[in-house]
Structure 1
Amino acid sequence: MRSQRFALTDPLPAGRMLLEASAGTGKTYSIAALVTRYVAEQDVPISRILVVTFTKAAAAELRDRIRGRLAHAAEALRQILAGEVLAAEDDAVLLHLTSGSHVELSERFRRIERSLAEFDTATIGTIHSFAQTLLSEQGVAATTNPDATLTEDTTVVVEEALADVLARRGTQHLPVVDPKTVVDAAQLALKKPDSVLSPTRAEIDTARATRRSKDFLESADALAESADVVAEVVNRVTMVRRNRAVLSFDDILIAARELVTNPRSGQRAVAEVRSRIDVALIDEFQDTDGTQWEMLDALFGKTEATLITVGDPKQSIYRFRGADIKAYLASSDSKDAERFTLGTNFRSDPVLLAGTERLFEGTTFGDPRIGFEPVMSGKKESSPLLVRGHSASGVELRAFSNSRIPAEPAKEATGADIARLVVEHLEHGQVPHAGGHRAIQPGDIAVLVRSHGHVDAIHRSLTQAGVPVVIGNVGSVMSTEAASQLFALLQAVAAPARPRLVRAAALGWFCHKTWEELDGIEPDQPGAGVVADLQVMFSEWAEVLQKEGLPAFFDRIWQYKDVAVRLLESGQGERSLTDLNHIRELLESDGSSQQVHRLVERMEQLMTDVEEDADAELFARRTDSDDDAVQIMTVHAAKGLEFPIAIAVGLGAAPTNRRPTSFDQPDGTRTVIFGAAKAWERKDLDPLIKDEEKAEQLRLIYVAVTRAIHKSVVYLGSKPGDAPLSRLLFKGKAPATGEGVMAALQPRVIESDGAFRVTVIDENCPPARWLGATSQEAPVLRVATIDRVFDRDPQRWSFTRISGKRIHPGDHTESGSSVALQDVGPEQGATDEATPDGLTVDDSDAQGSPLPLGNIAGGAAFGTMVHGVLEAVDFAAPNLQSELATHVGNAVAWSNWKIDPAELTHGLVSAIDTPLGPLFDNRPMRSFDSTNVLDEMTFELPLAPSVPPGRRPTGTDVGQLILAHLPPVSPLRKWAEQLANNAINVNLAGHLTGAIDGIFRVSAEGRHDRYVVVDYKTNRLGAYGSPLVLHDYSQANMATAMAHHDYPLQALLYAVALHRYLRWRLGDTYDPATNLGGAAYLFVRGMIGPETPPSGSAVHGVFSWPIPPELVVGLSDLLHHGQRIEAVG
């Protein structure tokens, strides 16, 4: 099915649009451009645009690209409006945005500047974070536990469930059950609650009467046992997760789907999302699944919202993670969806695009609707890659002269040929650069593999050829030499009395002994003394592990004989040390036992599971060096990346060992099949599953080939048979010889006019050597010299940290004040009330006070207790006294304080019944029910995210801004003057975090809702040693306390957080002038109930500050941009 071509300057889409973005056509660029156009041209606020992708890294990149795109457009418009000449641009979208009348451009500039100021309100994240937000906003309408913990990895829970099931069934079942198969099958089934497991015991019993397969009959009993165990594990995990309140990412998506498709709750949930989202863009749509699509379709499919799904079905390669290409096709078949494609490739050279077209012409990737469509080159001027002065082909296929060589020799031969190919290009190749050419460097080349099987041979051949090479995220670290070396050492430490194990460890990396030193084992032979010394040392190491833990244990090993230094002096030292540190980190984070034999068991388990876990992200080998080197990585890891030259290896054959797999049938039923292919064949599903596997194999080849900028090389491999690559090239089985391959593909080679080439390779060619390789002598190690200046401004700030930077703390406070520090530690959201200097709680003479809470001693723990009670209670509860008594009783029971619960309950009731003054229409807390109070709102705000050093906001800037908005008679003016005079000398960059005790919504008929920041304080404000009296909580005394501890700054920062929250939550109806209600600090000891007398225009115990809305907005802009935003036009 051919799609219409879409240009980014075409009319903006409305309704549903499917945008296919083939490799290199600029998918992320296009999303950022569309967002910018919707903001600038249609005045869609950034807060009403949803952008969803599938990984945190992709979400972070999208966020940066969209912000950068907006900023670039704003700067271009500013230059045009200021009469400046715009620099030469070939950006069609930017030229489009800067074309128009002065009025139009001014309006676009204003809109884009507003979007930058409000960028923190943009919803740009993963599909899982969007679903989680959707559930939290719906509250009780959602079926998930709101207090549940979200976990990324459910493997531990599944493994625990398996251990419980096997323990209950007895040890006789252990030999016939493969734990890895059970865990994998259970996890696949848990992704979809209505999954059907196959085989079941009933299916196996039925098959016994009809099947005569030897493989089946020999394994039937084990299959039946495994079937029972898998079913029990799935049921147990479901129960355990429910009891522990644990949710997986799949649980979140399923719950969100159920919420929006529910006949009763769905309509409301959809309406609420639609009330704040006008445009939704879904990235990497080819990797979605049925659950995700049903959720998105319910939210945006039958509404007036614009839904743009962006992806490339030819790059759908994550079936093992649950991606279902059928969901993509279902969307494309929708009668409401228009299907477009991006037709210009901006990555690759024309010769590479032509070669790719010859390779894939006429190919469909698993479905007739997913066909290969040629794309145009977006490069206006392009020079080809040169080898020995001649233009290189864009795509090269390399085939053995004899394709029947065995697998292992073929891997070695492939590695050797890759080394020869790389050396040829390093010595004689040039890539286009800056209008000319430059020599090819090792870092220009990437070798892409499907799994770790070819990695060692390739790495070894390149290293022997003198070519720098690094391995990135391919293969399991538990299959490396580092794992074997560490395992041998741990075995010796666990059993130092066994000389054979000690000698094996002694010859390894960590002890660095030689055969000559160990030549002997009897007491009178020379080597025995060395072994005995090692035995003593290993025993000491085991004791360190038991007493001090894993970190100290590994530190002792790493320090012995300077193992890191010795490894780095060897040819592959960085690789080895990277693997060792990775394994150490895995074992430490795994919480492995402090008993050395348990540590050995854990290492053995991880190494045993290596074949199945080879592509698991947690165990994937890390890149060992940032130096200029050839990179070896998996195709999956390379997706989204680009390289001047890409070499694809191991893509010629389909997988032969079937792990547990799943298949989604047209009716949506998911079947999880976990029997070995020969033992349990599903004649109804196996052909369909194989077809899907072959289709994904073709898509893997497409992804690998399209990573290249100038040249792509594909190895046919040994025994290609009728594997997907053979079907792609030969429409059937591959010829048995290289000459046969050459002859069969000769027409394509001729038609390509040099863009497509076939090379026959000899598996017995001599090894290559790079003449440009550096000397193989051990490098001289030196201490690194840091010669760059680190930007130390960006930090994680809280009010406490900012206030703690005060140069002269307390010099604006009345002499002799005993005002105690109480603050909400923003990182924890808990009270931090300090007692007077030098005192413990018991030292404080609080007796004789007439105030309800005046006789209870102060301190941080008391403040925390009061905060906890006030956050838990519903102020408007009809049985307030009883509810408070329950919460207070529980709080006191869990503390070691001697507090009379009845006294504290009475005092808090009095505070709750106290009129709060003008900001609250003189209403008490009792008049605010739980729907009008938001407790403990945490926030994380970016500070000066794009502001360079020297222009970042400072404490002085904040003080000057406050001073400009305070009236001359304000009790806070002296405090603001000191703040404006560099009292807090900080550069505010990074993030601001905090937790607001309460946000009160003050509603009245005929008026917009007003939102007030509330902070609870339990400070004792009276003179030390004297009973507290009401006058201690007058407006003047509270103002002194506020200034003493910089509480006005805290109130302002919290008001900025409230401003940004309301701007997102209320959308276009938000007006700071009417919705921002200021801040109130409730000193609860001074709040004595309805009879609390007034103090000036307010009341005792309540310090109210009607913060000017323009001050809040100005401070928000200052903290984000480093300067106030001035309109242009």
Structure 2
Amino acid sequence: QDTDPVQYEIFRTLFADADRCLFLIGDPKQAIYSFRGADVFAYMDAARHIPERFTLGTNYRSEPALIHAVNTIFETRPDPFVYPEIAFEGVIPPEHSESQPLSLDGRPLPPLVIWFVPSDAAGTNTAAKNRKTSARMAKSAAKPLIRRAVGAEISHLLSFGTAGRVLVGGSPLRAGDLAVLLRSNREASEMKETLAGLGIPAVLYSTASVFDSREALQTERLLRAIATPHDERLLRAALVTDLLGYTSDDLMGMTADAVDGEQGLPDLGHYARLWSDQGFIRMFRQCMLDQGIRTRLVAFPDGERRLTNILHLAEILHQETVDRQLGMVELLRWLVEQRNPDTRTAAEQQLRLESDDDAVQLVTIHKSKGLQYPVVFCPFLWESSNDSRKDQALLFHDATDAGRLTLDLGAASAERQAHEALAARETLAENVRLLYVALTRAQKHCTMVWGCFNQADTAALAYLFHHRGSSTSLQLVDETSGSFQPLGDAAVWEQLHDIEARASGSITLRQLPSAPAPRTSLPETADESLSARSFQGSIERHWRVSSFSAITSRKPPSGEWPDRDETVGTVRPTDDILDVEGEKEAVADIFRFPQGARPGTLLHDILEHLEFTSPDRDPRATATLVSGKLSDYGFEPHWRDTLCNMLTRLVRVPLAGAGTTFTLAQIPMADRLNELEFFLPLERLNPDRLHQAFASCPGTPPRSWAAWLERLGMLDFTPVHGFLRGFIDLVFSYQNRFYLVDWKSNHLGHRLDDYSPNALAETMVREYYLLQYHLYVVALDRYLAARLPGYCYEDHFGGVHYIFLRGLPPDSGPPCGVFHDRPAKTLIASLASTLLGKEVPEPLFP
């Protein structure tokens, strides 16, 4: 029921043959995810073409009386779910089921309670005093009233549970046994505030983003003050956040330039130095420790929520710093972008759950699907089904066009009215399904709320309880409103009383409780004498997920080779580079391009999104891509032409193939895999075994093989067992052969000669890139063998190209900037055997 038409069409095509069997399992009554693309009409279309159906008619979740109550509510109409294709069939409890209802002092409590809210319950609606009128209570008045009633009821239940008077399943009721189901995150947050005021612990299961939280704003203010320590305005803004805890009175007596006897503003400058020297996360943890942020936050009523958000934000910022090598300014810019929903680029960072130990669960109905709770409150199941505006686009299924999904951006007046009616009908149907999901989450008891609320005349409860017309009318929502609008409190109460009578005691109708709630005192946890268990097991200390970088992290000094490569995170000035005679200005420009991890990440990002045919065929598209990426990574726009020139050279440089040459400009996007991630299983690997695998099978080029074996013999790393993880920059196919590409932004020198074949061969040995690509070839070989029918290494693998982006030649220039190799099959087999710890099975090397 949560599929869309495209997904269903895929399955219908795959299983179209009569000899193929396809089981479709779903419950259309629980199709509630239209906001993210699910389409219950796809289910209805599928159901029309399925010859056999089987129904699960037994409910194993809920008490028998509660099952009967829910059946009664949805049997008030012959077509409760609006569309005839979604029929309601009442379920039954399992035979010989043992009933353990929610009980008070040994007496069962009603399984389903409907609280009725009179129109004058808030004391602000004078017209409602005559209960035969159709006066309505405003939602703004009703919701606080209902929240207080729910809070009071939960408080009473928990007090009785603490005293052992209220039992659920034979055990005293605890806070963790209760759930309040809401329509939105905002309703959940407001309910949590109400419960917090009564001393009731509650945990909010929210789909909101952590970037929308108060803590994200305060973290931004703190980081701004740290990054700009001499700006008094930013410093004062950070000090009055809840993180640092200063008040306006505290700041009144502080000055930036304190003299003898005066109290100065705190100095955060040392955190900027720590950030610069040791990274963001070291700085942030030290700041939390020094400033007592953890202790300060947990002192708030919602302190656990606040601390969870801060720790979550710190983790996200640290990960972004590592992944993109961002400095202070770039990280702050990124945080500002994420806090703005219009510029947010990160994947949705959902609020993490704070500790849910023995706390009332606050959950949106969408989030609750598939879950269950002993006691459930559903206070706000009366959302309007007719909320479209004249200027709002309408999405609906057009009954006159075979139910096709249609978007109305502004049709003619008569059509618009018909489309609004269709869209409202679909909204009403989904509201009924949301009601069904909410009521069926309860195991023992459920409390719901209804009354003459303003703008609730088209709600699902209005349709189920008070509309007696046909559901097939295209004007169903307006007719529902017409049935409910004339009713006053007395008439609504009478119709609810009829439903109560049909439920045979499983539904109880009550007035909204108005008794004040006592502040809840939860039982204190008894002090326990704790002792640590003695660990008797063994820990495999060599098992881990490793990588090429980890294996070579302790590589020896370079010896006679000059170390021209930058280390991660450093940027060396290049303004003093002189133009080289005979080379164009563009070449010198690319030599001047900043060095380090962040520039390298930028170039990789550009190449991942570059259409290789663009630099020649559509230079404007290439320029747009480069400009956008420069801005994203905080580089000056004047580098655009330099990088565009480099990309033009890149796609034109000749690459060696199987008996031929070709260029990247011949490779379409459809024949590429960018950033191919792999996990290669590793048996116990150590330097000696690695060296032996290479020594037993000489490779190419032979002129550097002896030097390579000598260099490899100097490598030292801790033995590793587990997985080798890596990312292959690019895999592409050309003439039915597959090639591996690695982009290198290393600065080897200021002349093209520094990127000559001999120079690159030395670099490949010195930096252990020969080891890197041999490991990558083993991984790619396994990938192709698992996915390509009839795969053969010699026939299908074309080779390796390491492309040094700063050293690419002009069209008529000397060969430079590209290292190519195609390892022998025997060497790759030897390496695979070493890595896997066994003989490599067919068809890895057929």
**1:1073/1:1109 contact within 8 Å kept:** no
The one of 348, 359, 366 equivalent to 1:629 is: 359
- 1:1058 maps to 780
Q: 1:423 to 1:605 in 2, by over 3 A?
A: farther
Q: Is residue 724 of structure 1 aligned with residue 455 of structure 2? A: no
Deviation digits for residues 319-369 of structure 1 (CA, Å, limit 9, x no counterpart):
455654334434444x4x556456377972463655544443455423100
Q: 1:872 to 1:623 in 2, by over 3 A?
A: closer
**1:448/1:704 contact within 8 Å kept:** yes
Q: 1:355 to 1:454 in 2, by over 3 A?
A: same
Q: 1:682 to 1:622 in 2, by over 3 A?
A: farther
Displacement, 1:722? 7.4
TM-score (norm. length: structure 2) = 0.59
Q: In 1, distance between residues paired with 2:317 and 2:819?
A: 54
> 3-state DSSP class of the match of 2:451?
coil
Q: Is residue 1011 of structure 1 aligned with residue 747 of structure 2? A: no
Displacement, 1:930? 1.5
The one of 821, 825, 832 equivalent to 1:1107 is: 825
Q: 1:843 to 1:986 in 2, by over 3 A?
A: farther
Deviation digits for residues 674-699 of structure 1 (CA, Å, limit 9, x no counterpart):
99xxx999643444333322211111
Q: Which amino acid aligns with 2:425?
A: D
Displacement, 1:763? 1.8
Q: Which amino acid aligns with 2:515?
A: C
Q: How does 1:777-926 map to 2 (within 5 A)?
A: 799=548, 801-806=549-554, 808=556, 816=560, 912=654, 920-925=657-662
Q: 1:415 to 1:559 in 2, by over 3 A?
A: same
**2:161/2:173 contact within 8 Å kept:** yes
- 1:313 maps to 28
Q: In 2, distance between residues paired with 1:1015 and 1:459?
A: 52
Q: 1:1126 to 1:961 in 2, by over 3 A?
A: farther
Q: Which amino acid aligns with 1:716?
A: V
The one of 340, 343, 355 equivalent to 2:56 is: 343
Displacement, 1:711? 2.9
**1:954/1:987 contact within 8 Å kept:** yes
**1:795/1:990 contact within 8 Å kept:** yes
- 1:651 maps to 381
Displacement, 1:717? 2.7
Q: How does 1:685-696 map to 2 (within 5 A)?
A: 685-696=419-430
Q: Is residue 943 of structure 1 aligned with residue 673 of structure 2? A: no
The one of 763, 773, 782 equivalent to 2:513 is: 763
- 2:298 maps to 568
Q: 1:722 to 1:479 in 2, by over 3 A?
A: same
> 3-state DSSP class of the match of 2:378?
strand
- 1:684 maps to 418
- 1:173 maps to none
Q: Which amino acid aligns with 2:384?
A: A
Give the alignment's Cα RMSD to 1 decimal.
Answer: 7.3
> 3-state DSSP class of the match of 2:418?
coil
The one of 69, 72, 81 equivalent to 1:365 is: 81
- 1:396 maps to 112
The one of 414, 434, 441 equivalent to 1:707 is: 441
Q: In 2, distance between residues paired with 1:580 and 1:1101?
A: 47
- 1:185 maps to none
Q: Which amino acid aligns with 2:514?
A: N
**1:366/1:696 contact within 8 Å kept:** no
- 1:747 maps to 502
Q: Is residue 419 of structure 1 aligned with residue 169 of structure 2? A: no
Displacement, 1:565? 3.7
Q: 1:1089 to 1:573 in 2, by over 3 A?
A: closer
Q: In 2, distance between residues paired with 1:326 and 1:866?
A: 45
Q: In 2, distance between residues paired with 1:977 and 1:358?
A: 83
Q: 1:306 to 1:1043 in 2, by over 3 A?
A: farther
Q: In 2, distance between residues paired with 1:392 and 1:798?
A: 62
Q: In 1, distance between residues paired with 2:502 and 2:219?
A: 54
Q: Which amino acid aligns with 2:115?
A: A
Deviation digits for residues 278-316 of structure 1 (CA, Å, limit 9, x no counterpart):
xxxxxx21xx3x6x4697589759789987766432223
- 2:630 maps to none
Displacement, 1:1051? 1.8
Q: 1:438 to 1:996 in 2, by over 3 A?
A: same
Q: 1:605 to 1:345 in 2, by over 3 A?
A: same
Q: In 1, distance between residues paired with 2:108 and 2:497?
A: 18
The one of 418, 425, 432 equivalent to 1:698 is: 432
Q: 1:729 to 1:1072 in 2, by over 3 A?
A: farther
TM-score (norm. length: structure 1) = 0.46
Q: 1:921 to 1:628 in 2, by over 3 A?
A: same
**1:793/1:990 contact within 8 Å kept:** no
- 1:98 maps to none
Displacement, 1:632? 1.1
Q: Which amino acid aligns with 2:552?
A: G
Displacement, 1:992? 3.2
Q: 1:703 to 1:1108 in 2, by over 3 A?
A: farther
Paired residues, number:
692
**1:749/1:757 contact within 8 Å kept:** yes
> 3-state DSSP class of the match of 1:1068?
coil
Deviation digits for residues 771-805 of structure 1 (CA, Å, limit 9, x no counterpart):
53449xxxxxxxxxxx9999999999664x23532
Q: In 1, distance between residues paired with 2:39 and 2:434?
A: 15
Deviation digits for residues 794-827 of structure 1 (CA, Å, limit 9, x no counterpart):
999664x2353245466xxxx745697699x9x9
Bigger CA drift: 469-478 or 374-383? 374-383
Q: In 1, distance between residues paired with 2:737 and 2:359?
A: 60
- 1:445 maps to 178
Structure 2 unaligned residues grouped into runs of 5+: 122-136, 223-235, 258-263, 273-279, 321-328, 330-335, 469-483, 526-534, 618-625, 627-636
Q: In 1, distance between residues paired with 2:246 and 2:71?
A: 55
Displacement, 1:378? 8.8
- 1:497 maps to none
- 1:473 maps to 206
Deviation digits for residues 690-729 of structure 1 (CA, Å, limit 9, x no counterpart):
3322211111111212334x23514133327774225435
**2:101/2:168 contact within 8 Å kept:** yes
**1:819/1:1020 contact within 8 Å kept:** no
Q: Which has the higher contact order (CA 8 A, sep 6+)?
A: 2
Displacement, 1:935? 9.1
Displacement, 1:571? 3.3
Displacement, 1:650? 0.6
Displacement, 1:635? 1.0
Q: In 2, distance between residues paired with 1:686 and 1:1088?
A: 62
Q: In 2, distance between residues paired with 1:488 and 1:680?
A: 53
Q: Which amino acid aligns with 2:777?
A: A
Q: How does 1:450-599 map to 2 (within 5 A)?
A: 450-451=183-184, 455=188, 458-473=191-206, 532-533=252-253, 565-575=295-305
Q: 1:1067 to 1:629 in 2, by over 3 A?
A: same
Q: Which amino acid aligns with 1:959?
A: L
Percent of pairs with identical residues: 21
Q: 1:1102 to 1:586 in 2, by over 3 A?
A: closer
Q: In 2, distance between residues paired with 1:1101 and 1:478?
A: 44
Q: In 2, distance between residues paired with 1:484 and 1:843?
A: 46
Q: 1:1087 to 1:749 in 2, by over 3 A?
A: same
**1:651/1:725 contact within 8 Å kept:** yes
